[in-house]
Structure 1
Amino acid sequence: MMKLKRRSANEGVAGIAGAILLWASAFPTAAASFGAGIENSQWYLSESVFECSLVQEIPGFGRAVFSHRAGEDLAFHLESTLALMKPGRGQLVVEAPVWRPGVAPRPVGAVSVSDGQRSVSVGAREASIMAQGLLQGMQPTLTRASRFDQRPVRVSLSNVNFSAPYSGYLQCVSGLLPVNYDQIRRSRVPFASGGAKLSEADRTLLDNIVSYVRADSTIERILVDGHSDSIGSRIDNRALSEERANVVAEYLKARGIDEELLVVRSHGDQFPVSRRHRDNRRVTIRLQRQGERPELQQASGSGDRYSS
């Protein structure tokens, strides 16, 4: 039965591709255009403290996604059900819909079209121009040659029903956390020679970690590891690394982190990450989520892997 299902799916893809080729041969200079019409143009808002996104389904092509992760800028990507565009450089413009003739299109720039399901990804500049264009009643449009021939494929975003979800998106963005998991899952607090005091920048980092941990219930462990340079005696360095680890741990607890989450350790000068002493005077903090495999390795490299 599994083989029959796979054959049926492949035949379906081949049928769609064949239909596109047949269509293209009938209209040799026309573009294959994809976009939501007035009757089915909807933008869907997804919101949390971790990410805000606006999504539009594009019939026959896939979907368009504006996304804004905590700690990052607005981004945009296209997801395609079938790989209809040839990999390479496509052209992105903001143009007027057909019912607003005479308005000149505004070029946004060249964008890279890839072979994967997420065929197009652009950064904050392009995404912001696209969003503002939608608010102004325009439609961002990407054009790229077809995978099957050199005829263009056009994918347009509809501005219909965009304003209200965008207002909700702006509200969502105002409530995002200051950082995301990838940004703080491994963090480093540096120290001066012989010192164990936190700077203002250190407190900001730790406050961001606290904000994230309190919002993410999947965090089950916070590893706090103190280190020193190799200047002085091994005994003194071990004591200093312990003091540094405790300073960080106490700050986290004072800001509301459950003590049971914390695993506090000190290593002295046992695990240097650099020949420069200043790089080795540090406390490293690693967050561990439920289901993540603990890394039971010695501390080494700039990422600081840990020993049990």
Structure 2
Amino acid sequence: MVSPFWFFRQRRLLKILATAGLVSLPSAPVLSSSYGAGIENSQWYLSESVFECSLVHDIPGYGRAVLRHRAGEDLRFYLESELRLMSPGPGRLVVEAPPWRPGVAPNPIGTVQVTDNDRGVRLGNREAVLIARGLSSGMQPTLTRAAQYSGEPVRVQLSNVNFTGPYAGYRGCVASLLPVNFDQIRRSRIPFASGSTRLSAADMALLDNILAYVMADSTVERIFVDGHSDSIGSRIDNRALSEDRANVVAEYLRSQGIDENMLTVRAHGDQYPVSRRPADNRRTTIRLQRQGERPELLQANGRGGEFSG
């Protein structure tokens, strides 16, 4: 029977010989940590409204994947994990076939950046669309990146199992999204030509988008409409012109169904310039206030007398 000490001595001898360059030791296999839902627990959850459509996929042991489409924006993809298993840096994203489809060539999407936060991967429209298309065609998008505290690769895989149904619902949801989201129209600006109070087609299109959002979001409780002018001419005339500019916008909103009680209409003349260029100061601003927001942040003199819009 061979003594255990014999193996120890042999291993030590091999290390000495390898150090001297007389022999080479076989390299240790590179281990890989893989995360992904199996057939038995793969689910995609659809969340839908006129404000946002999203598909969420739980990845056991890692976190979750999110396909998110906000109103007025393109599709985005996020990979979220509180564990932060991947080290920051470039990762490789590939759409590959599941094990039960051997022989199908993978489709490389490209290099993506992994960051050191809970939402470690944020991808734009191009990559998000390719991920969604891959899943809908029965493929498995896979991200590979080195582990946080070792050199071994971490593989995170999205399962296509049970994706088709929620994806069909997502596409229907996208067709019903509002044209804009709150961040895009919470502060809007209507420009005017010198001495003019006329709304252009582009101005009315912007107001229509604001109307569509306000009608859908019951948390919007007040709309501030502030008229302004440049400093050319008399202050009395400028004050009257800014009032007319505010009123023409407010009247358009009223005519399309906005409750009079929601509107706060004010005229400021040339009191709050935003630029040295006169054209920039000929404007009416529209600002939305939601329930619970501080009204002073939305006032024309919200920064100690200096106009902020």
Indicate the TM-score class for this superposition, using the shorter chain for normalisation: 0.7 to 0.9
Secondary structure at 2:111 match in 1: strand
- Paired residue for 2:308? 305
- CA–CA distance in structure 2, aligned partners of residues 104 and 62 of structure 1: 27
- On the 8 A contact 1:230/1:277 being kept in 2, the answer is yes
- CA–CA distance in structure 2, aligned partners of residues 72 and 220 of structure 1: 24
- Paired residue for 1:30? 31
- Paired residue for 1:254? 255
The TM-score normalised by the length of structure 1 is 0.88
- Paired residue for 1:266? 267
- Paired residue for 1:224? 225
Q: CA deviation at 1:305?
A: 2.5
- Paired residue for 2:162? 161
- CA–CA distance in structure 2, aligned partners of residues 297 and 265 of structure 1: 9
- Paired residue for 1:66? 67
**1:97-246 map, 5 Å:** 97-246=98-247
Q: CA RMSD in A?
A: 1.4
Higher Rg of the two aligned structures: 2
1:68-118 CA distance string (max 9 Å, x none): 000000000011131100011111111111111222211111111111111
**1:4-43 map, 5 Å:** 28-43=29-44
Name the % identity. Answer: 69
Q: CA deviation at 1:28?
A: 4.7
- On the 8 A contact 1:78/1:119 being kept in 2, the answer is yes
- On the 8 A contact 1:284/1:304 being kept in 2, the answer is no
- Paired residue for 1:45? 46
- Paired residue for 2:18? none
Measured at CA, do residues 293 and 299 of structure 1 come closer, stay the same or move farther in structure 2, by a change above 3 Å? closer
- CA–CA distance in structure 2, aligned partners of residues 263 and 30 of structure 1: 64
- CA–CA distance in structure 2, aligned partners of residues 268 and 35 of structure 1: 61
1:120-165 CA distance string (max 9 Å, x none): 1101000000100011111101010000101100000001111111
Secondary structure at 2:204 match in 1: helix
- Paired residue for 2:20? none
- Paired residue for 2:58? 57
Secondary structure at 1:158 match in 2: coil
- On the 8 A contact 2:273/2:307 being kept in 1, the answer is no
- On the 8 A contact 1:42/1:161 being kept in 2, the answer is yes
- Paired residue for 1:24? none
Secondary structure at 1:275 match in 2: coil
Structure 1 residue identity aligned to 2:68: S
Secondary structure at 2:40 match in 1: helix
Structure 1 segments, 4+ long, off by >6 Å, are: none
Q: CA deviation at 1:299?
A: 6.6
Secondary structure at 2:233 match in 1: coil
- On the 8 A contact 2:226/2:300 being kept in 1, the answer is no
Structure 1 residue identity aligned to 2:103: G
Unmatched 5+ stretches in structure 2: 1-27
- On the 8 A contact 1:28/1:151 being kept in 2, the answer is no
Measured at CA, do residues 131 and 273 of structure 1 come closer, stay the same or move farther in structure 2, by a change above 3 Å? same
- Paired residue for 2:8? none
- Paired residue for 1:13? none
- CA–CA distance in structure 2, aligned partners of residues 125 and 256 of structure 1: 38
- On the 8 A contact 1:92/1:140 being kept in 2, the answer is yes
Unmatched 5+ stretches in structure 1: 1-26
- CA–CA distance in structure 1, aligned partners of residues 300 and 260 of structure 2: 24
Structure 2 residue identity aligned to 1:214: M
Secondary structure at 2:218 match in 1: coil
- Paired residue for 1:21? none
- CA–CA distance in structure 1, aligned partners of residues 65 and 54 of structure 2: 10
